[in-house]
Amino acid sequence: MVVAASIVVFLLTRLFTDPVDFVVPLEATEEERAAREAELGFDRPIIVQFGDYIAGLARGDFGESLWQPGRSTIDIIGQTLPKTLLLVAAGMTLAIALALPIGMIAAIRPGGLLDRLLVTLSLAGLSMPQFFVGLMLIIIFAVRLDWLPVGGYGDPSQLVLPAVALALPALGRLTMVVRSAMIDELNSQYVKAARAKGMARRTVIAKHALRNAGVQVLTMSGWEVTRALAGFTVVVEKVFAWPGFGLFALEAIQRRDLFLLSTIVLVASILVVVVNVVVDILYKWVDPRITLS
Count how many residues are written for the chain: 293
Per-residue buried b or exposed e for 67-95, using 16+ beta carbons within 10 Å of the residue's own CB? beeeebbbebbeebbebbbbbbebbbebb
Question: What's the whole-number mean pLDDT along residues 19-28?
Answer: 71
247-256: per-residue pLDDT in tens?
888 888 777 7
Could you give the residue ranges of the DSSP H alpha helices within the chain? 2-14, 30-40, 46-58, 73-108, 113-127, 130-137, 160-186, 189-196, 201-203, 210-212, 214-227, 234-239, 245-254, 258-286
At 284 the pLDDT is 77
84-93: per-residue pLDDT in tens?
999 999 999 9
Could you give the residue ranges of the DSSP H alpha helices within 128-159? 130-137
At 17 the pLDDT is 67
Question: Would you say residue 263 has pLDDT above 80?
Answer: yes
Minimum mean pLDDT among 42-51, 202-211, 214-223, 256-265: which range? 202-211
Question: What's the whole-number mean pLDDT along residues 135-148?
Answer: 89
Q: Could you give the CA distance from residue 244 to residue 133 in angstroms, rounded to a whole number? A: 19
Question: What's the whole-number mean pLDDT along residues 39-49?
Answer: 79
At 262 the pLDDT is 80
Question: What's the whole-number mean pLDDT along residues 114-123?
Answer: 84
Question: What's the whole-number mean pLDDT along residues 167-177?
Answer: 88
Confidence of residue 207 (pLDDT cuts 50, 70, 90): low
Closest CA to 76 of 233, 230, 244, 232: 244
Average pLDDT taken over every residue of the chain: 81
Q: What is the DSSP letter of 226?
A: H
Q: Could you give the CA distance from residue 10 to residue 270 in angstroms, rounded to a whole number? A: 15
At 206 the pLDDT is 67
**CB contact at 8 A, 106 and 117:** no
Question: What's the whole-number mean pLDDT along residues 30-53?
Answer: 80
Largest separation between any pair of C-alpha atoms in the chain = 87
Question: What's the whole-number mean pLDDT along residues 98-121?
Answer: 84
Question: What's the whole-number mean pLDDT along residues 165-174?
Answer: 89
Going along the chain from its start, the domains and CATH numbers come out as 2-58 (no CATH), 80-243+281-286 (1.10.3720.10)
46-75: per-residue pLDDT in tens?
888 888 878 887 887 777 787 777 788 888
Closest CA to 127 of 177, 174, 168: 168
Amino acid (1-letter code) at residue 185: E
